[in-house]
Amino acid sequence: MPFRNVAKPFVAAILALALAGPASGQETQQQGEWEAGGTLIGSLKYGADFKHYDHVNPDAPKGGTYHSAIPGGYDSFNPFIVRGRAAAGLNYTGGLLYDTLFEQSVDQPSASLPLIAEAYRHPDDYSSATYRLNANAKWHDGKPITAEDVIWSLEVLKENQPLYANYYHNVIKAEKTAEHEVTFTFDIKGNRELPLIMGDLPVLPKHWWQGKDAQGNSRNFADPVNEPPLGSGPYRIAKFDIGKAITWERVPDYWGADLAVRKGRYNFDRIDFTYFLDENALWEAFKKGGIADTRTENRSQRWATEYNFPAFGRGDVLRKEFETVSPEPFQGYFLNTRREKLADPRIRKALTLIFDFESMNKTLFYGLYTRTNSYFEGGELQAEDGLPQGREKEILEEYR
């Protein structure tokens, strides 16, 4: 999933449905108040009355087809298991097909906002979390998304994928505590992140996965599937050619279209992905046109020297760099400090000094790279210039 971190660390937890209705003021205090979203840092940018993300046009027109070309292939529509390679448009948070309980905010680190669930709450000791489902949430077949779907999703994901077993390992119980509520109980107290981690849970249709396919065979969640699954998200699979192409179509009656986290987004009627086994063949197809509307370039040599083809010269292809406001991916050498020599900070400092980044960048990478100064490079969690002070310094003293 974008696994959460304060720009997304790997932690585990589980949702707990809250009790239907507290019988006393004391119970209300124990359970906490219902909240339309939460954050680990500061206060939520968007309150309970927010209408849409700041960066979107809520009245953006719908229509058109977006074309994309990608390397590789695929053999499954199940992104949640170890076996198989899932098609473009699917990922371990559900992608275009499935919604999650909450959505990690796209423009505020460590913040989550309502999606399938409209609110959550937790006791002061963070020993559990209860999510209240939106009564309007439904699958593409029109059936409602239920508390049973949420509980089953957690169970089947933990059973079939070590990644989820680790991410949710602190969840010891998930139970239906009201008609539209699920409560997750944790094996530890005091972890502020666990309640929000449950919001990352992709919710799957129990009735579809436990049903039969067109040939009358029982479906097995542990197997790669070549049958388009039932979903709840903004898109569904329209057509496909296994390993070669897949087309997604916007769901016209998508239940969440008017939610604040969805308003002004997912505007294309169709999204086409075409696969190329060879990266060079993909590049040649892109230069000729008609196969992809955009391309993300990851080779400095190509960026600097190979954008000289006819379509680029005519202005049909534009080469642009975009500044991001989220942590950027980076490359580097990570030293194994369990080795005696590398455990010595003087050795590590010496290796850093002899690594001539400036010369390498100039001669090998066309001056396009910059030094990475933070694990959260480019994001608002990146450390500011200067030495740490105050409480920050106190926390870091333990690791000096």
Spatial CB neighbours of 356, under 8 Å, sequence gap ≥ 6: none
CATH superfamily of 16-57+96-209: Periplasmic binding protein-like II (3.40.190.10)
Question: What six digits make up the tokens of 142?
Answer: 């029109």
Q: What percent of the chain has pLDDT over 90?
A: 78
Lowest mean pLDDT among 24-28, 148-152, 154-158, 310-314: 24-28
Report the chain's mean pLDDT, rounded to a whole number: 90
Q: How far apart are CA 33 and CA 122, in angstroms?
A: 8
At 374, the pLDDT band (50, 70, 90 cuts) reads: confident
- Please determine, for residue 212, whether its predicted confidence score (pLDDT) is greater than 80: yes
Q: 324 in helix, strand or coil?
A: coil
The domain spans of the chain are: 16-57+96-209
Q: What percent of the chain has pLDDT over 70?
A: 92
Indicate if the alpha-carbon torsion angle 66, 71, 74, 78 is positive or negative: negative
Q: How far apart are CA 334 and CA 346, in angstroms?
A: 15
- Please determine, for residue 329, whether its predicted confidence score (pLDDT) is greater than 80: no
What are the E-state strand segments in the chain? 16-17, 38-39, 65-71, 102-104, 111-114, 117-121, 128-133, 171-178, 181-186, 235-241, 245-250, 270-276
- Please determine, for residue 24, whether its predicted confidence score (pLDDT) is greater than 80: no
- Torsion on CA atoms 389, 377, 304, 295, rounded to nearest 10: -160
- Please determine, for residue 16, whether its predicted confidence score (pLDDT) is greater than 60: no
Q: How far apart are CA 38 and CA 111, in angstroms?
A: 6
234 in Cβ contact with 262 (< 8 Å)? yes
Q: Backbone phi, then psi, for 333, in 5-degree steps?
A: -100, 130
At 388, the pLDDT band (50, 70, 90 cuts) reads: confident
Question: What six digits make up the tokens of 110?
Answer: 């460590």
Task: Please report the pLDDT score of residue 384 as a whole number.
Answer: 75
At 23, the pLDDT band (50, 70, 90 cuts) reads: very low
Cβ-in-10-Å burial (0-12, 13-18, 19+) of 35 comes to middle
Q: Summarize pLDDT for 230-246 with one digit per residue, the tens.
A: 999 999 999 999 999 99
At 327, the pLDDT band (50, 70, 90 cuts) reads: confident
- Please determine, for residue 14, whether its predicted confidence score (pLDDT) is greater than 90: no
Task: Please report the pLDDT score of residue 332 as a whole number.
Answer: 84
Q: Summarize pLDDT for 97-135 with one digit per residue, the tens.
A: 999 999 999 888 889 999 999 999 999 999 999 999 999
Task: Please report the pLDDT score of residue 380 as a whole number.
Answer: 74
Mean pLDDT of 345-374: 92
Mean pLDDT of 188-210: 97
What are the E-state strand segments in 251-395? 270-276
- Please determine, for residue 5, whether its predicted confidence score (pLDDT) is greater than 70: no
Q: How far apart are CA 279 and CA 281, in angstroms?
A: 5
Question: What six digits make up the tokens of 336?
Answer: 């194994």
Determine the distance from the C-alpha atom of residue 16 to the mean position of all C-alpha atoms in its chain, rounded to a whole number: 21
Task: Please report the pLDDT score of residue 9 as a whole number.
Answer: 32
- Please determine, for residue 20, whether its predicted confidence score (pLDDT) is greater than 50: no
- Residue in the block written with tokens 């029982």: 218
Mean pLDDT of 213-218: 92
**Integer CA distances (angstroms), 16 to 157, 190, 207, 384, in order:** 16, 15, 21, 38
What are the E-state strand segments in 49-193? 65-71, 102-104, 111-114, 117-121, 128-133, 171-178, 181-186
At 11, the pLDDT band (50, 70, 90 cuts) reads: very low
What kind and span of H or E run contains 309? none
Query: CA neighbours within 13 Å on the CB side: how many for 118?
Result: 12
The more confidently predicted of residues 376 and 90 is 90
Question: What six digits make up the tokens of 244?
Answer: 């070669």
State the DSSP code for 252.
T
Question: What six digits make up the tokens of 159?
Answer: 């059973």
- Residue in the block written with tokens 């009790």: 19
State the DSSP code for 60.
P
226 in Cβ contact with 237 (< 8 Å)? no
Q: How far apart are CA 269 and CA 220, in angstroms?
A: 31
Task: Please report the pLDDT score of residue 22 as a whole number.
Answer: 37
**Integer CA distances (angstroms), 358 to 6, 39, 112, 299, 380, in order:** 30, 39, 40, 18, 26
Q: Backbone phi, then psi, for 100, in 5-degree steps?
A: -110, 170
Q: Backbone phi, then psi, for 77, in 5-degree steps?
A: -110, 15
At 64, the pLDDT band (50, 70, 90 cuts) reads: very high
